[in-house]
Amino acid sequence: MRTILQDATLLSPNPNHPVQRHMDLVIQDDIISGIYPHHLEHTRHDANTRVLNARHWLVIPGLVNSHAHSYMAYFRNYGSGLHLHDWLFTKIFPAEARLTQEDVAWGTAMGLLEMLRGGITAVCDMPLIPQAGMRFAEESGMRVATGFSVFQTEFNPPSCKTIFSEFEANYAQYHNRNNGLMKVFATVHSGYLYPADVLAEGAAWLVQHGYRVHTHLHETRKEVEDDLLLFGKRPIQRFAEMGLLSPKNIAAHCVHLEEEDRLLLKKYGMLAVPCPTSNLRLAAGFPQLVAMKEAGVNYALGTDGQSSGNAMDLWKEMRLASLLSSAQTNNPGAFADWEILQMCTSTPAQHLFAEENETMGVLEVGAKADLIAVNTDAPHFTALNDPLSAAIHHTLPTDVDWVMVNGEVLYEQGQYTRLDEEHIRYEVQTRSKRLLHGLA
């Protein structure tokens, strides 16, 4: 099957040509097979070719959400006005204790539905009950990296124990399933949720077996101060000593970093993932993206869950990353717009999802066809002087018209091709009432 996007404006995380106007982009099966100026005769059309008029479209690599808790749709806008620890322990954990497997499944479906609608084609997810969400992860057709824990009853640390064989079975079942779209990481929620000896045992096993780890690190000042009191070390130092910092691993937030922390993140090639909305809303702090760039740290962006982040909207996160960085450094050019786009496309796509022989997150011949189109035929895109600035600074999720993952169209002009929007929204609306009933 061949698709041609005709006369599009292409936006790339590439300093040499971030914007290319009047271009034809050809997709053959799951790969970008050609990029040509629109006026050139380049491809023979036959019965297997679909031609789309892309004159009003900004065509962009699919966005990658590098840190999310997709199942949390039920708790959207719930527990506002609290610091992270109060919010987590007095609001979220009691509500989550009521979740059944089916609740988690439908909540995950809602997260995937919302992300696709806004142009997110891949997500690094940290679920509560991962098995429950897998059927929708597979059905969605998106790239989904799911975290399975190696710690049992992680919300009840006194009885916490390691469960390695269960993790191995899930890894065997789900890693690279669905034509390689699904990946499995090990969830190490944080340094503060498990007893220290259990964490050390789990870390040693994960390192020994080479599994990839998704964790939260240095989200709040309290997390860092508690570790200094308890262990005389900062969490990143502890994680480095346990072998949990690695180019294959990913740490959400990384808000409170000193120079020594940035040096460790850089040394081990760890992917740091600030979630600006969540970090600001929980008063965790201001992400320090410019300092990360200057220190040579790898970084990407995430939405976090819908409760702390309110929405799974990476357009908002890119905008905030840009605005915060400008204000923090008194430099409106702290990040070029293509660098902001890079945080949600090439950097995380390549780091989290690409196998050795695969290219992702770019508009190049030979790259995987994970693509989205933003419709600029709207008042807020008129006049369109700088399309890349428009994409970063005022695109809304509802501006996304068309989403393709691995060569398959998953959303087009208001319609999902795989997910049942009406059913998913009904289930989540109904279940949310039950889950929050009677809670303060």
Q: For Zn ion, which is the closer residue by CB, 130 or 387? A: 130
Question: How many CB atoms sit inside 10 A of residue 50's CB?
Answer: 13
Q: Looking at the DSSP assignment, which residues form a beta bridge with residue 315? A: none
Q: For Zn ion, which is the closer residue by CB, 304 or 339? A: 304
Mark residues 78-117: x for contact with Zn ion by CB under 5 A, - for none.
----------------------------------------
**Cβ 192 to Zn ion shortest distance, Å:** 13
Determine the Cα–Cα distance for residues 185 and 198; give it in Å rounded to an integer.
18
**Cβ 337 to Zn ion shortest distance, Å:** 26
Q: For Zn ion, which is the closer residue by CB, 111 or 141? A: 111
Residues 3 to 62 in contact with Zn ion, rule: CB under 5 A: none
**Cβ 280 to Zn ion shortest distance, Å:** 14
Q: Which two tokens stand for residue 32?
A: 């970008």
**Cβ 130 to Zn ion shortest distance, Å:** 14
Phi, psi of 412 (to 5 degrees): -150, 120
Mark residues 371-390: x for contact with Zn ion by CB under 5 A, - for none.
--------------------
Question: How many CB atoms sit inside 10 A of residue 131's CB?
Answer: 16
Q: For Zn ion, which is the closer residue by CB, 69 or 183? A: 69
Per rule CB under 5 A, count of chain residues that contact Zn ion: 1
Q: For Zn ion, which is the closer residue by CB, 132 or 362? A: 132
Determine the Cα–Cα distance for residues 169 and 173; give it in Å rounded to an integer.
6
Which DSSP string do the residues of 100-152 spell out, in sequence order? Answer: -HHHHHHHHHHHHHHHHHTTEEEEEE--SSHHHHHHHHHHH-SEEEEEEESBS
Q: For Zn ion, which is the closer residue by CB, 24 or 304? A: 304
**Cβ 302 to Zn ion shortest distance, Å:** 8
One-letter identity of residue 143: R
Q: For Zn ion, which is the closer residue by CB, 308 or 347? A: 308
Q: Is 15 exposed, middle or buried (0-12, 13-18, 19+ CB in 10 A)?
A: exposed
**Cβ 427 to Zn ion shortest distance, Å:** 23
Characterize the bridge pairing of strands 371-375 and 400-405: antiparallel
Determine the Cα–Cα distance for residues 431 and 178; give it in Å rounded to an integer.
29
Q: For Zn ion, which is the closer residue by CB, 114 or 304? A: 304
**Cβ 28 to Zn ion shortest distance, Å:** 38
Residues 296 to 315 in contact with Zn ion, rule: CB under 5 A: 304
Beta strands in 12-134 (DSSP E): 19-28, 31-37, 49-53, 57-61, 63-68, 120-125
**Cβ 54 to Zn ion shortest distance, Å:** 36
Determine the Cα–Cα distance for residues 277 and 108; give it in Å rounded to an integer.
20
Mark residues 261-300: x for contact with Zn ion by CB under 5 A, - for none.
----------------------------------------
List of residues contacting Zn ion (CB under 5 A): 304
